[in-house]
Amino acid sequence: MKPSADDTLLRAFERALARGRLYMAYQPKIALGDGSLSRVEALVRWDDPDLGQVEPSRFIPLAEDNGWIDELTIWGLTNILEQWRTWRDEGVDTSVAFNISAISLQHLDFPDLVERLCQSLGVPADRLVLELTEGATQPLIKLMDTLTRFRIKGIGLAIDDFGTGYSSLLQLRRLPFTEVKIDRAFVADVERSKDSELIVRTIIDLAHGLGLSATAEGVENTAQLDLLRAMGCDVAQGYLIAAPLAPDRLAPWIEEFGARWPTLTGGKPSAAADVEANALGQG
């Protein structure tokens, strides 16, 4: 029987994992108050010699369904914590967010393992953030014990892609999250759609009301950035700020972006800039 496309992809993925062909790219997230680097999000990358660039959204579900996800999680975590150590040695001050599959969180001893890894590499566990997405088959509520153990160790927990998929308000209330990441589907037209604007504003207020920070993903233009700042969103991430970067690009990026930030914000608080733009528009 001819192997299916998924079989071929799975075999190629197994080879890539075994041969160390996967790597991490890091996308900066900035604090909207002052444009400083808040942290970087690690995103796995796979450039295959035969298949070209394979998107995580294709191979992660495959790894989850075929028993490879824990190996990918441990590889990814070790890789980013080692990179974090290197940055600290080089004087690059950042903290790191890691996307973790809910399947890997089923192991109750996983928080201890993460803490031990942080200790052995001398990186601060209380500045690590795990980003979780709720899936149909892995309701996060079932992971309450593991998630609580992470929080006891000071490790942050973000609910990713909030507002789409399976994430629910109940999870937000019951689980010990520290951050809400607003799905980029809402951010994409926040400056054009009154509905998206209302949804984004509501998620930000909800996050703040529950004592969580709000991050907007997929920020691609200054109109979105300005609006998000005016709405009190804490952190932003997206191509306007930076694409996912190779590790050695982070230090130069921090320098370049520091210089670019005043231009992005017009050098003044966004509310004032909006008022001025409106006045000009009317005049």
Pairwise CA distance, residues 133 & 161, whole Å: 7
| Choices 116-124, 224-232, 237-245, 272-280; region in contact with ligand C2E by CB under 6 A | 237-245
Q: Does 100 bind ligand C2E (CB under 6 A)?
A: yes
Residue among 28, 35, 163, 218 that touches ligand C2E (CB under 6 A): 218
| Choices 86-94, 99-107, 171-179, 267-275; region in contact with ligand C2E by CB under 6 A | 99-107
Pairwise CA distance, residues 206 & 177, whole Å: 13
Q: Does 131 bind Mg ion (CB under 5 A)?
A: yes
Q: Give the residue at shortest CB distance from ligand C2E.
A: 238
Residue among 238, 250, 253, 270 that touches ligand C2E (CB under 6 A): 238
Q: CA-based angle 235:209:195, to the nearest 5?
A: 70
Q: Is 226 helix (H, G, I), strand (E, B) or coil?
A: helix
Q: Is 219 helix (H, G, I), strand (E, B) or coil?
A: coil
Are 135 and 160 in contact by the 8 Å Cβ rule? The answer is no
Residue 274 CB, nearest approach to ligand C2E (Å): 22
**Of 110, 117, 112, 69, which Cα lies nearest the Cα of 96?**
117
Residue among 244, 250, 253, 270 that touches ligand C2E (CB under 6 A): 244
Pairwise CA distance, residues 217 & 26, whole Å: 14
Which helix H or strand E contains 184, and what residues bound it?
Answer: helix 184-187
Q: Does 182 bind ligand C2E (CB under 6 A)?
A: no
Pairwise CA distance, residues 163 & 180, whole Å: 10
When the beta carbons of 217 and 226 are compared against Mg ion, the nearer one is: 217
Residues in touch with Mg ion (CB under 5 A): 99, 131, 160-161, 217
Residues in touch with ligand C2E (CB under 6 A): 27, 43-44, 55-57, 60, 76, 99-101, 131, 133, 160-161, 184, 217-220, 238-239, 244
